[in-house]
Amino acid sequence: MTGLNSVHNIDDLRALAKKRLPRMVFDYIDGGADDEVTLRANCSRYDAYALNWKALVDISSIDMTTTVMGSPCAAPIIVTPTAAQRLFHPRGGETAVARAADASGLIYCLSTLGSTSIEAIAAETPGPKWFQVYVWKDRAIVEASLERAKAAGFTGLILTVDVPIAGNRERDLRNAFTVPPKVNAKTVAQVLARPGYLFDMLTTPKITPANFADFNPGGDGIMGYINRQFDQTVSWDDARWMKQIWGGPFAIKGIVRPDDARRCVDIGADAVWVSNHGGRQLDGSTATIDALPDIVNAVGRQAEVILDGGIRRGTDIVKALALGARAVAIGRPYLYGLGAAGEAGVRHALEFLTTSLQRDLALTGVARLSELGPDFVRRPPL
């Protein structure tokens, strides 16, 4: 809990994480692609949308509960999948995040590249859980992962479609950073500068993609094997196949165009997830809050819409919900908390967002999420 008493927003958590983590690890959380234009825009574009509150509304009781793809949650906030969370807190990682999400009554999403296994997460939390996947060249890998997720009680599947190849993340290149980290002059120097992190690394199991433990990676190791499995020929037929073999609630993540949102509906997706991968893929792409209204209009009531990217305060969430999102998803906010103080830090991040959402709904004159609509937001001119 050291330092959390002085944390009053997500930026404060970011500052704590920066102090605790080696630079290469912090930059892996914090950085984006190329010049990081989209990374900045994801946050800054919320400022262009102004809130119009209603006066003299009974806000003595604020109800933030909802369901997303059938999963109940205490607030419309989803803990989005991010890879290798033990990098950011070797003792906690995905386990710490899943526990914090469960304690907050929020939906937790496990990355297929997580550093904790599907089964280990299922044992830690009875709360709603979704699993994230890519379409690999070896379809047997996908099918095996989905069977494991079903057996472990995961109820939703997320297909990420905005990573046909890795984005150009120059902070990682400057730090000579890889996942898992390789020993070189830069990485050793940075880890030695953070003795607490180094102690945790030395006294916990090696960080690996836990869900690939049973695969034979070949000569270039597990990450080389995984990188070879990214399928650059993937199409909408593959997404339809994924939906069919899963057979349950299904979201497609990485959509910014209305025509692609319509294709999601056409192949049977239950949710369209508006995302540019946190500005980590195509720099110069549309900020997600700007993409949201057209996608909501394209989808109508045929699928739910989830938005991630740039969420830092309750007012950001109110704006996204008013513009038609069913829920928002967060990545960096809880990763800053994880890096700063493990499970306690994640809980702090989630509590800040849920508490500020509740307050900002009251200030907006909204007692129930269903009351929100576009009239609460003044959109910027085209």
- Show which residues are catalytic: 277
Helix (H/G/I), strand (E/B), else coil: 234: coil
Buried b (16+ CB within 10 A) or exposed e, 41-58: bbbebbeebeeeeeeeee
Element housing 240 (H / E): helix 236-246
Token representation of residue 250: 């299904």
Angle at 326 between CA 322 and CA 330, to 5 degrees: 95
SS3 46: helix
Candidates 376, 368, 366; CA nearest to 57 is 366
DSSP of 313-353: SHHHHHHHHHTT-SEEEESHHHHHHHHHHHHHHHHHHHHHH
Report helix, strand and coil shares of the chain as percent, to nearest 5.
Answer: 50, 15, 40
In terms of DSSP H, where are the helices of 125-194?
Answer: 139-151, 170-174, 185-192
Residue indicated by tokens 């999420």 = 369
* Radius of gyration for the alpha carbons in the chain, expressed in angstroms and rounded: 20
**Is 114 exposed, middle or buried (CB count within 10 Å of its CB: 0-12, 13-18, 19+)?**
buried
Residue listed under structure tokens 């009053």: 8
